[in-house]
């Protein structure tokens, strides 16, 4: 009993360094130059990017979001924040506290913030890393509603610098948010060449986990991913160098982005003596796949995955039509979200809000040809969800296929809310359960929250359903998400704590705010 008591006290004790950081954000319209042309955008406190939050691991963040948009709702997702804290696991007891209603997903965990209303997001930063926040309502992220959270380890401050003295080593964080008009409208991932011409990057971190470092001149970053790299300023200091960004995975229609890597004391606008590099070829899928295969967890930081799953779900990514309209589907189902959030529905044991029939967990892989345009006109639309046993181990196999355009298979960056998953393997072609499972990396797989599904290939993920509530899993390309490329995972949502009253204001729970009465005159 003494041993148990000591463990309990250790796990629930809050570090004295942790504090509560409170912010007030006003969401408004403003004219901004997001892609070099001034146009109407969405801003937070007049800023696009929005304000940067600086915190320490263990801090509690509270953000009052006031929606002053005239005709748009707002919901903000804290990308990579698990909304989970104070977990106690003993042989006879599992205790969990969390804030799933602050995940910021309209229709899943909350009602969107309507015009003129305020919503307070409160959550704990449980891991040190650089996070992104962004709108999860409509196409507002493309319009400017996004920003960053920099969470450091207590007592550690990491420098950030754009200029360089000769010989120093720079550490930079890169996050792909597809904020500019061209990349957002094209709904594509792009590659950051990311560092100066003739300088090499050493990649050391991906989605908050240290990786076995590797050197590259190019870094492919897909929508929603975060990387940390080191660059040594060891070239001729008398001149400056180019940094370029170019689009891959779909033929670009815009010029490359350019910046200058400045060696001090050179003037920061001193042009490099060479022409800017072109960057990798947009359809070089092999290089992108090779980078994915190279990333391994760093020795000393490996979190070993469970040896076997309790459940396997295979999701075929296709493009479909439903009633003549173009959709995105998984196993021939195009998913939609209900007007009453799943979290509220399950907590209140409501019926007739979403489709109770379970979605398919596989597809006819024997007869389906991933390389041709399939007859996908018989797809259906559904609000169904995957119910997962709490603390079970789940494998997700994402299988890519041809779109409804000949010889076109697009890259899909997939993001899981509320969890991190092990990336067990990638490969070209069609996944074979009997053969390909033997190729999984169970020794040093990286843990991520976002992963790229490459054209005509598959990726295998494994995660533990150890976070109570309802969680979204979706393609992070906005157009694909809104067209149905998403699923919802639920685990013991009825055991979630008391949900704030503000979450009950939509769908079948419109219980707050003034009534609106229409009178015919």
> What DSSP line would sit under 327-380, residue for residue?
EEEETTEEE---SS-HHHHHHTT--SSS--SPPPS---TTT--TTS----TT-E
For the domain with range 311-503, which CATH number is right: 2.60.40.420, 2.40.50.140, 2.30.31.70, 3.40.50.1970?
2.60.40.420
Do 271 and 241 touch, CB atoms closer than 8 A? no
Name the nearest CA neighbour of 343 among 496, 120, 136, 508: 496
Q: In the prediction, which pLDDT does 175 show? A: 57
Neighbours of 362 (CB within 10 A): 14
Q: Running DSSP on this structure, what letter comes out for residue 510?
A: -
Q: Running DSSP on this structure, what letter comes out for residue 103?
A: S
CATH fold of the domain at 20-156? Immunoglobulin-like (2.60.40)
Tokens 């003129």 — which residue? 116
Show Cβ contacts of residue 152 under 8 Å, excluding neighbours closer than 6 positions.
Answer: 54, 55, 56, 57, 128, 158
| Structure tokens given for 469 | 């509530």
3-state secondary structure of 286: helix
3-state secondary structure of 293: helix
Q: In the prediction, which pLDDT does 232 show? A: 82
Please state, in angstroms and rounded to a whole number, the distance separating the CA atoms of residues 340 and 335.
15
3-state secondary structure 389-442: CCCCEEEEEEEECCCCCCCCCCCEEEEECCCCEEEEEEEECCCCHHHHHHHCCC
What's the pTM? 0.87
For the domain with range 190-294, which CATH number is right: 3.40.50.1980, 1.10.645.10, 3.20.20.370, 2.60.40.420?
2.60.40.420
Domain residue spans in the chain? 20-156, 190-294, 311-503
Please state, in angstroms and rounded to a whole number, the distance separating the CA atoms of residues 79 and 414.
12
Please state, in angstroms and rounded to a whole number, the distance separating the CA atoms of residues 96 and 89.
9
Tokens 């079948």 — which residue? 508
Show Cβ contacts of residue 92 under 8 Å, excluding neighbours closer than 6 positions.
Answer: none
Strands 421-428 and 457-464: antiparallel
- The list of the chain residues with pLDDT below 70 reads 1-17, 35-36, 85-96, 139, 141-144, 152-197, 376-377, 510-521
For residue 246, the cross-strand partners are: 191
3-state secondary structure of 502: helix
| Structure tokens given for 452 | 């790229």
Q: In the prediction, which pLDDT does 181 show? A: 36
Please state, in angstroms and rounded to a whole number, the distance separating the CA atoms of residues 399 and 460.
9
Distances in Å between the Cα of 6 and the Cα atoms of 1, 176, 465, 509 are 9, 43, 27, 44
Using CA atoms of 469, 473, 476, 480 in order, give the dihedral in degrees to the nearest 10.
Answer: -120
| Structure tokens given for 449 | 């929250």
> Is the previous residue joined to 49 through a cis bond, with omega within 30 degrees of 0?
yes
| Structure tokens given for 249 | 């995975």
Please state, in angstroms and rounded to a whole number, the distance separating the CA atoms of residues 49 and 46.
9
Strands 169-175 and 333-335: unpaired
Tokens 């955008």 — which residue? 41
3-state secondary structure of 262: coil
């Amino acid at each position: 009993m003494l041993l148990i008591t000591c463990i309990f006290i250790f796990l629930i004790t809050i570090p004295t360094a942790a504090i509560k950081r409170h912010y007030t954000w006003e969401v408004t319209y403003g004219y901004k130059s997001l892609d070099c042309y001034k146009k109407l955008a969405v801003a937070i406190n007049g800023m696009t990017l929005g304000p940067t939050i600086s915190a320490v691991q263990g801090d509690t963040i509270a953000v009052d979001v006031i929606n002053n948009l005239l005709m748009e709702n707002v919901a903000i997702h804290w990308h990579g924040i698990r909304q989970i804290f104070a977990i106690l696991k003993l042989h006879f007891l599992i205790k969990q506290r969390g804030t799933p209603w602050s995940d910021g997903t309209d229709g899943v965990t909350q009602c969107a913030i309507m015009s003129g209303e305020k919503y307070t997001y409160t959550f704990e930063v449980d891991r040190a890393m650089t996070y992104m926040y962004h709108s999860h309502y409509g196409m507002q992220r493309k319009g400017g509603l996004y920003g960053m959270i920099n969470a450091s380890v207590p007592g550690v401050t990491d420098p950030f610098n754009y200029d360089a003295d000769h010989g120093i080593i720079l550490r930079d964080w890169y996050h792909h948010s597809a904020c500019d008009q061209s990349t957002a409208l094209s709904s594509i991932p792009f590659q950051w060449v990311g560092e100066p011409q003739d300088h090499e990057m050493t990649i050391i971190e991906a989605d908050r986990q240290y990786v076995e470092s590797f050197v590259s001149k190019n870094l492919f970053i897909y929508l929603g991913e975060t990387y940390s790299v080191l660059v040594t300023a060891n070239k001729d200091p008398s001149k400056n160098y180019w940094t370029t960004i170019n689009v891959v995975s779909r033929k670009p229609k815009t010029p490359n982005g350019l910046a200058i890597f400045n060696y001090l004391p050179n003037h920061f606008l001193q042009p490099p003596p060479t022409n800017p590099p072109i960057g990798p070829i947009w359809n070089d899928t092999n290089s992108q796949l090779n980078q994915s295969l190279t990333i391994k967890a760093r020795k000393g930081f490996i979190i070993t995955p469970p040896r076997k799953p309790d459940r396997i779900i295979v999701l075929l990514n296709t493009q479909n039509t439903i009633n003549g309209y173009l959709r995105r589907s998984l196993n021939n189902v195009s998913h939609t979200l209900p007007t009453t959030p799943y979290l509220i529905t399950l907590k209140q044991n409501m019926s007739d809000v979403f489709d109770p029939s379970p979605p398919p967990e596989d597809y006819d892989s024997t007869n389906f040809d991933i390389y041709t345009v399939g007859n996908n006109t018989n797809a259906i639309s559904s609000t169904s969800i995957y119910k997962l046993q709490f603390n079970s181990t789940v494998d997700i196999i994402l299988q890519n296929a041809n779109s409804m355009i000949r010889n076109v298979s697009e890259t899909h960056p997939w993001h899981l809310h509320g969890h991190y998953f092990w990336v067990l393997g990638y490969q070209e072609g069609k996944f074979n359960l009997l053969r390909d499972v033997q190729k999984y990396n169970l020794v040093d797989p990286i843990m991520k929250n976002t992963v790229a599904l490459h054209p005509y290939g598959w990726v295998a993920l494994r995660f533990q359903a150890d976070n109570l509530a309802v969680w979204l899993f979706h393609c992070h390309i906005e157009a694909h998400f809104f067209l149905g490329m998403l699923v919802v995972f639920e685990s013991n949502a009825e055991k979630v704590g008391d949900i704030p009253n503000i979450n009950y204001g939509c769908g079948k729970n419109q219980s707050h705010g003034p009534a609106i009465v229409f009178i015919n005159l």
